Amino acid sequence: MTTLPDTALARPRPASTALRPVLLYLAMAVLLVGTGVLMGWNYALTVINMGLISAIMALGVNLQWGFAGLFNIGIMGFLALGGLGAVLVSMPPVADAWAAGGLRTLAGLALGVLTVVAVVAVRGRMASGRAKTLAMIAVGVVGYLVTRAVLDPGVAAIEAVNSASTGYLGGMGLPVLLSWPVGGLLAAGAAWIIGKTALGLRSDYLAIATLGIAEIILAVLKNEDWLARGVKNVIGVPSPVPQEIVLQRDPAFVARAAEFGLDPVSASTLWVKLLYLGLFAVVLLVLLTLAQLALKSPWGRMMRAIRDNEDAAEAMGKDVTRRHLQIFILGSAICGVAGAMMVTLDGQLTPGSYTPLRYTFLIWVMVIVGGSGNNWGAVLGGFLIWWLWVIVEPLGNWLFGHIISVLPPGSGLAAHLHDASAHMRLLTMGVVLLLVLRFSPRGLLPER
Amino acid sequence: MDLLNGLVAFLNFVFIPAVAYGSQLALGALGVTLIYGILRFSNFAHGDTMAFGTAMTILVTWALQSAGISFGPLPTALIALPLGIAATALLVLGTDRAVYRFYRDAKAAPVILVVASMGVMFVMNGLVRFIIGVEEIQFTDGERFIINARAFKEWSGLEEGLALRTTQLLTVVVAAIAVALLFWFLNRTRTGKSMRAFSDNEDLALLSGINPDRVVAVTWIIVAALATTAGVLYGLDKSFKAFTYYQLLLPIFAAAVVGGLGNPLGAIAGGFVIAFSEVMVTYAWKQVVAYAAPGDWMPSGLLQLMSTEYKFAVSFAILIIVLLFKPTGLFKGQSV
């Protein structure tokens, strides 16, 4: 089965020249600079930083969809796992909580894992039949009861420790930059488990399964307070760059700022954002280089061959399932890295703010608009769609402001329009996705 | 007596809510499964179609209410429902004309249609928020209870009360009528039979002179009716909120897949399987077990398998287990 749009869908387009990517990236740069000039550089840098992270997410999705045609709509879950990684690595450990129930909780979790392993072992070893089913159920139920009996008191003890400010185990107190690869590893581990179970499914079943697994991951993050405080949020995740307030107290920095004619406060916010920009840009460039190398390597060609015709690739002796698992893990790991970076940038993990529309489907819009199968396209899509996402609201306000000013004052329609401009984002994204899918299904920068 | 108390508690907190919720899910899953069977893609915009239909019905309900029209003890929204269905039918037919038809004619891979439905989901989601906002809306009126908990206690002399809300009974009755009509239509009428033929074997159906455009249009109209009815019933039973309806997509998909995508009977069974497991896994069984157990023994814990927030996780765990062990669903579904 092919997953890329049929050639019949592609309109005839002018022969793509090498100039096209350059021009499009220039146009994107003009948009960002224009945002800076019109709406302030502080705002523009915020947009660019999140744009960099979005570009990394889009790279991950492009790896799975563009290279291999895997329909993964559980991106949100992998991002959240990466964010969890940031908390687990960088937050200081809560010694009291560890003393109260740390080991007991870990033992409970180990028992839970053991239960699953035992069920799988029974499934693999025993001969099919009623006895097997009963044995699996029995092992599962007993394992569940034992796990709960060990786990629950431990969890309760941890959550009772100063629940207003901690109430969780804390992290390892390591440098936050380390959490980026760790976030990737966490996501990769989850992807391995998911891939092992779900990758054999048909495309749309895989989609629904990943959508559900993302919801499960998020439900765990929201409810297991001992792990990362749940919906009480972890705030104050350490920053890899100096804090604004420290910079403002540094006489040398204030003097340097004065040379540029800036007051210390705005100079410090700009400088911190620039430092983040540098860090994120390095990660993006490394990942982009790796992705480009992979795309051009024999491995990349094999991936696309599998995508375009699984049966033929299998007949040529390629292990389709293993290759799918491999790329599923790689793409998810990239999303995990992006998730950890996002939590680092925000300085907090807020599980309540993760919604599929924003963190799964929007990334998909980025990849499809940018050009699936083309890494440069995915990165461009990441920037462009993120920029559009943030700019649509002020733009909508401005537009509706003009419409409202024409309407008679105090009319119900005017008030309604005023409230409604906040919802323009979703509408715009949907229209952009549909238009691109229809009239330029290969995206802005098509696969070569 | 204790056993009776336990039974009443079970009926009140598990059985009645689960049956009502299951009927709503079944109607939603029927829509998903019909689209899958006849148009051959998983429609991610279905939750938002439900939200749109409900929003339209609410607007008409408000208009009726302000005109002083009511439906006696029943919610006014029932009178508004046909108009809501009509508006939704127009919307989905328009969407099909503007979006899906192009890909169908081009014989695009199903997954492209799914991506297109993601775009439609965004647009409809925005549209609903644009029209009616994001706040929670209660639009039920008329008689609130058929059986009141306190009246039941006084009448029966039991410790446990039994409450049956009008909306709960209404949900089940309306869902039953809708399903009966649907099956009569699919099995008895010419158009319904042509739809089933089209779903079974598209090429053969086309060869025997079935008009595909007509089949597609009728499918969308039925889907609009099912989605709006499901949405309005859910909104009457609980409340309307645009975001909640988007989230309903998850259990609805689970129901459709568990039953076997493309199989209407399976969708209904799947709806109840998902609803009952969600309610039963997240219900604290302490009271019921205490009544059922001999003597004054009381369980020490709440006997809750999982906390309520995990209800979506429950439906998906079931979904994944079914997919792993019986990939075509409980009833045999189709594959792309």
Who among A212, A424, A437 is closest to B116 (CB)?
A: A437
Distance CA B251, CA B234 (A): 13
Q: Do A8 and B316 touch (CB under 8 A)?
A: no
For the segment B100-113, the average pLDDT, to the nearest whole number, is: 90
For the segment B305-333, the average pLDDT, to the nearest whole number, is: 79
Return the residue of B nearest to A211 by Cα: B250
For the segment B64-91, the average pLDDT, to the nearest whole number, is: 91
Who among A209, A365, A441 is closest to B323 (CB)?
A: A209
Nearest CA distance, B220 vs chain A (angstrom): 19
In this model, does residue A251 exceed pLDDT 60?
yes
B43 to chain A: which residues are within 8 Å by CB?
none
Query: What pLDDT does residue A7 have?
Result: 47
Distance CA B25, CA B230 (A): 7
> Residue B207, exposed/middle/buried by CB under 10 A (0-12, 13-18, 19+)?
exposed
Q: Do A430 and B120 touch (CB under 8 A)?
A: yes
Nearest CA distance, B87 vs chain A (angstrom): 19
Q: Are B45 and B114 in contact, with CB atoms under 8 Å apart?
A: no
Q: Give the number of domains in chain B.
A: 1
Query: What pLDDT does residue A2 have?
Result: 44
Q: Are A107 and A153 in contact, with CB atoms under 8 Å apart?
A: no
Burial A78-115 (b: 16+ CB within 10 A, else e): bbbbbbbbbbbbbbeebebbbebbbebbeebbebbeeb
Q: Do A6 and B124 touch (CB under 8 A)?
A: no
Beta-carbon contacts of A393 under 8 Å, excluding residues fewer than 6 positions away, are A421, A422, A424, A425
**Span of A155-169, A177-191, A219-233, B208-222 with lowest mean pLDDT:** A155-169
Question: HEC string of B201-228?
Answer: CHHHHHHCCCCHHHHHHHHHHHHHHHHH
For the segment B119-133, the average pLDDT, to the nearest whole number, is: 91
- The confidence band for A410, taking pLDDT boundaries of 50, 70 and 90, is low
Give B264-290 pLDDT, tens digit per residue: 899 999 999 999 999 988 888 877 777
Q: What is the dihedral of CA A287, A292, A298, A303, to 10 degrees?
A: 80
Domain assignment present for B299: no
Domain assignment present for B200: yes
Name beta bridge partners: B212. Answer: none
Distance CA B274, CA B280 (A): 10
Query: What pLDDT does residue A345 have?
Result: 95
Backbone angles phi and psi of A138, in degrees to 5: -60, -50
Smallest CA-to-CA distance from B216 within B44, B100, B111, B335 is with B100
Beta-carbon contacts of B57 under 8 Å, excluding residues fewer than 6 positions away, are B77, B80, B81, B83, B84, B228, B231, B232, B235
Query: What pLDDT does residue A112 have?
Result: 92
Smallest CA-to-CA distance from B284 within B302, B297, B301 is with B302
Who among B103, B112, B122 is closest to A430 (CB)?
A: B122
Query: What pLDDT does residue A17 have?
Result: 63
- The confidence band for A425, taking pLDDT boundaries of 50, 70 and 90, is confident
For the segment A113-123, the average pLDDT, to the nearest whole number, is: 90
For the segment B15-36, the average pLDDT, to the nearest whole number, is: 94
State the pTM of this model: 0.89
Return the residue of B nearest to A203 by Cα: B111
Question: How many angstroms separate the Cα of A215 from the Cα of each of A209, A222, A410, B309?
Answer: 10, 10, 43, 11
Structural domain boundaries of chain A?
Answer: 27-93+170-405+412-439
Question: How many angstroms separate the Cα of A33 from the Cα of each of A19, B189, B195?
Answer: 21, 63, 55
Q: Which of residues 189-248 of B touch A (CB under 8 A)?
A: 246
Q: Do B125 and A426 touch (CB under 8 A)?
A: yes
Q: Which of residues 240-269 of B touch A (CB under 8 A)?
A: 246, 250, 253-254, 257
Give A321-339 pLDDT, tens digit per residue: 899 999 999 999 999 999 9
For the segment A17-39, the average pLDDT, to the nearest whole number, is: 91
Complex-level ipTM:
0.89
**Span of A13-17, B120-124, B165-169 with lowest mean pLDDT:** A13-17
Nearest CA distance, A68 vs chain B (angstrom): 13
Q: Do B118 and A433 touch (CB under 8 A)?
A: yes
Who among B123, B257, B312 is closest to A215 (CB)?
A: B312
Q: Do A361 and B118 touch (CB under 8 A)?
A: yes
Domain assignment present for B9: yes
* Residue of A61, A71, A208, A418 to mutate, interface with B, max B Cβ within 10 Å: A208
Q: Do A5 and B120 touch (CB under 8 A)?
A: no
Nearest CA distance, B15 vs chain A (angstrom): 24
DSSP calls for B15-41: IHHHHHHHHHHHHHHHHHHHHHHHT-S
In this model, does residue A14 exceed pLDDT 60?
no
Nearest CA distance, A420 vs chain B (angstrom): 5
Q: Which position has the token pair 């894992």?
A: A113
Amino acid in the structure at residue A382: G
* Residue of B316, B318, B326 to mutate, interface with A, max A Cβ within 10 Å: B316
For the segment B40-56, the average pLDDT, to the nearest whole number, is: 94
Helical pair A203-223 and A75-90, crossing angle rounded to 10 deg: 30
Give A142-183 pLDDT, tens digit per residue: 998 899 889 888 888 888 888 778 888 888 889 999 999 999
Distance CA A427, CA A357 (A): 12
Query: What pLDDT does residue B336 have?
Result: 41
Question: How many angstroms separate the Cα of A178 from the Cα of each of A88, A91, A210, A213?
Answer: 11, 12, 27, 26
Nearest CA distance, A80 vs chain B (angstrom): 16
Query: What pLDDT does residue B160 have?
Result: 80
In this model, does residue B144 exceed pLDDT 60?
yes
* Residue of A221, A388, A437 to mutate, interface with B, max B Cβ within 10 Å: A437
Nearest CA distance, B76 vs chain A (angstrom): 24
Q: Do A357 and B125 touch (CB under 8 A)?
A: yes
Helix, strand, coil % in chain B, rounded to nearest 5: 75, 5, 25
User: Is residue B145 helix, strand or coil?
Assistant: strand
- The confidence band for B178, taking pLDDT boundaries of 50, 70 and 90, is very high
Q: Do B316 and A213 touch (CB under 8 A)?
A: yes
**Span of A107-121, A176-190, A364-378, B141-155 with lowest mean pLDDT:** B141-155
Return the residue of A nearest to B130 by Cα: A420
* Residue of A144, A194, A201, A205 to mutate, interface with B, max B Cβ within 10 Å: A205
The pairing of strands B145-147 and B164-165 is antiparallel
Domain assignment present for B311: no
A3 to chain B: which residues are within 8 Å by CB?
109, 111
Give the distance between the most distant pair of CA atoms in chain B.
Answer: 71
User: Is residue A440 helix, strand or coil?
Assistant: coil
Q: Do A5 and B41 touch (CB under 8 A)?
A: no
Beta-carbon contacts of A365 under 8 Å, excluding residues fewer than 6 positions away, are A381, A385, A429, A432, A433, B119, B122
Residue A312: other Cβ atoms inside 10 A: 11
Q: Do B126 and A5 touch (CB under 8 A)?
A: no
Query: What pLDDT does residue B305 have?
Result: 77
Who among A201, A204, A223 is closest to B310 (CB)?
A: A223
Q: Do A423 and B115 touch (CB under 8 A)?
A: no
Question: How many angstroms separate the Cα of B42 from the Cα of each of A141, A258, A273, B328?
Answer: 34, 59, 42, 15
User: Is residue A111 helix, strand or coil?
Assistant: helix
Beta-carbon contacts of A263 under 8 Å, excluding residues fewer than 6 positions away, are A257
Question: How many angstroms separate the Cα of B283 from the Cα of each of A88, A140, A289?
Answer: 32, 20, 51
Q: Which position has the token pair 């206690």?
A: B153
Q: Do B126 and A2 touch (CB under 8 A)?
A: no
Backbone angles phi and psi of B55, in degrees to 5: -60, -45
Distance CA A125, CA B328 (A): 25
A215 to chain B: which residues are within 8 Å by CB?
250, 312-313, 316
In this model, does residue B299 exceed pLDDT 80?
no
Question: HEC string of A138-182?
Answer: HHHHHHHHHHHHHHHHHHHHHHHCCCCCCCCCECCCCCHHHHHHH
The mean pLDDT value of chain A amounts to 88
In this model, does residue A57 exceed pLDDT 90?
yes
Which range in A377-381, A417-421, B308-312 is most confidently predicted, on average pLDDT? A377-381
Q: Do B250 and A211 touch (CB under 8 A)?
A: yes
Question: Which fold would CATH assign to domain A27-93+170-405+412-439?
Answer: ABC transporter involved in vitamin B12 uptake, BtuC (1.10.3470)
In this model, does residue A201 exceed pLDDT 80?
no
In this model, does residue B61 exceed pLDDT 50?
yes
> Residue B77, exposed/middle/buried by CB under 10 A (0-12, 13-18, 19+)?
buried
Smallest CA-to-CA distance from B241 within B108, B125, B326 is with B125
Q: Do A433 and B316 touch (CB under 8 A)?
A: no
Return the residue of A nearest to B310 by Cα: A219
Give A122-134 pLDDT, tens digit per residue: 888 888 888 888 8
Using alpha carbons only, give the angle B103, B105, B111 rounded to the nearest 5 degrees. Answer: 30
Size of interface A-B (CB pairs under 8 A): 144
Smallest CA-to-CA distance from B72 within B144, B142, B171, B139 is with B142
Half-sphere exposure of B262 (CA within 13 A, CB side): 22
User: Is residue A284 helix, strand or coil?
Assistant: helix
Structural domain that includes position B58: 2-242
Query: What pLDDT does residue A359 have?
Result: 93
Nearest CA distance, A24 vs chain B (angstrom): 23
B121 touches chain A (CB under 8 A): yes
B126 to chain A: which residues are within 8 Å by CB?
423-430
Q: Are A132 and A124 in contact, with CB atoms under 8 Å apart?
A: no
Who among A9, A197, A219 is closest to B108 (CB)?
A: A9
Q: Tokens in use for A330?
A: 């790689």
Q: Are A156 and A150 in contact, with CB atoms under 8 Å apart?
A: no
Distance CA A370, CA A183 (A): 26
Instruction: Spell out the alpha helix ranges (H) of A297-443.
Output: 298-308, 310-315, 320-346, 356, 362-370, 375-406, 412-420, 424-439
Distance CA A53, CA A87 (A): 18
